[in-house]
Amino acid sequence: MHCTRKIDDDIIYVGADNRRLKLFEAVYPVPRGVSYNSYLILDEKTALIDTADRAVTDVFIENIEHTLEGRDLDYLIVQHMEPDHSATLIDVLLRHPECTVVCNKMTFDMIRAFKGMEVKALTVKEGDKLELGKHAITFISAPMVHWPEVMVSYESLTGTLFSADAFGSFGALNGALFADEVDFDRDHLDEARRYYCNIVGKYGMQVEKLLGKVNTLDIKRICPLHGFVWREKIDYYVNKYMLWSGYKPEKQGVVIAYASVYGNTENVANILACRLRERGIECVMHDVSVSWHSSIIADCFKYSHLVFASMTYNGGVFVNMENLLHDLAAHALKGRKIALIESGSWAISAAKGMREILSPLKDTEFISDDITFKSSPTEGIGEAIDALADRVAETM
């Protein structure tokens, strides 16, 4: 049976939740599920905005057919060809051969490449308008937010921005379509940040460009392709996006991420955390072998200072730390203050390896000499840790 919600009388949510997916994009754990959002506009003409993942095909198709009540589907607007939003495109078109796909040229080519067929399409570009009756949609290109073909769509009657992957979040909706139906800041902001930083975090400049374009519009609602619809306190979320896309820390504080096999490096990380707290400095700790790397990366976006501590492992950086740092570098984080701690028992080289991976990051500053210890921390290391805690305090 169908499972839909009204955004208003003419715009209906026809997407669906998936709580069985273990890894989004085959890498990000989503224990709270994910939603694949799709929206149907009913006017003189009907228009579906994006489709959904294969996992939710049955209910998604039921939702569309129930909402159309036997009407034709005139348009299918394809904003993004990533299969979490386009896997069921052909399923929709087979049921609605009358439907015209509305997309840009790059998307048109991607449909051919992904689906092995050409579809009846109206190709649009930046600024083009699609009249549906009372509703009219203007297309705005948003390349690399998250793929190169992405465009977003602004519906002018209701001030609705259909924002593709931008303004999305991990987490199933669980019946609550609107962000104002939940305590977003308390219960969902962390997952929204983890989504942003890991999915689109690399493309801060392109997100800023999109924010610049949509800032000129009168936006009353934001309808993303994952997560909640925003109709209240839109500024709150847009402001978060401005911080994240500009790689600006939300908080002064320290992320301590450590790699430790036998506990000595962990011990030093814990001592540093105590010294920071004694100075009134907020810090979060992650064992890189335990925490999801996507959560560590999200915290690295959130906080101003990052301390990475690794034991030396087979002549280099411990493997999980190495992976994390490569991932962080790939996400192009910038503007952070960094310190490194290393240990080893015979040829210590972890800090050198960490520095090499992190040095391409722009506007980063290594705020202290690396701290090195052999096998286990001795009393002498206390001074170095105190000095690092002082440096962190000075540079906040």
Query: Which 176-205 residues touch ligand FMN, going by CB under 6 A?
Result: none
Residue 382 CB, shortest distance to Fe ion, in Å, is 48
Residue 386 CB, shortest distance to ligand FMN, in Å, is 20
287 is an interface residue for ligand FMN by CB under 6 A:
no
Greatest Cα-to-Cα distance within the chain, rounded to the nearest angstrom: 78
Query: Which 71-100 residues touch ligand FMN, going by CB under 6 A?
Result: none
Q: Which does 312 bind (CB under 5 to 8 A by kind): ligand FMN, Fe ion, none?
A: ligand FMN
Query: Which 364-393 residues touch ligand FMN, going by CB under 6 A?
Result: 375
Residue 183 CB, shortest distance to ligand FMN, in Å, is 39
Q: What size, in residues, is the chain? A: 396
320 is an interface residue for ligand FMN by CB under 6 A:
no
245 is an interface residue for ligand FMN by CB under 6 A:
no
Residue nearest to ligand FMN (CB): 344
Distances (CA, A) of 341 to 25, 40, 358: 32, 53, 14
Find the binder of ligand FMN among 81, 343, 370, 388 (CB under 6 A): 343
Q: Which does 314 bind (CB under 5 to 8 A by kind): ligand FMN, Fe ion, none?
A: ligand FMN
Interface residues toward Fe ion, by CB under 5 A: 82, 84, 146, 165
Q: Which does 146 bind (CB under 5 to 8 A by kind): ligand FMN, Fe ion, none?
A: Fe ion
Q: Which does 84 bind (CB under 5 to 8 A by kind): Fe ion, ligand FMN, none?
A: Fe ion
4 is an interface residue for ligand FMN by CB under 6 A:
no
- Which one of the spans 21-29, 125-133, 211-219, 305-313 is the region binding ligand FMN (CB under 6 A)? 305-313
- Say if residues 34 and 171 touch (Cβ distance below 8 Å): yes
Nearer CB in complex with ligand FMN: 236/262: 262
Find the binder of ligand FMN among 348, 367, 387, 396 (CB under 6 A): 348
Find the binder of ligand FMN among 98, 239, 262, 365 (CB under 6 A): 262
- Which one of the spans 34-42, 174-182, 248-256, 306-314 is the region binding ligand FMN (CB under 6 A)? 306-314
Residues near ligand FMN, by CB under 6 A: 260-266, 311-315, 343-348, 375
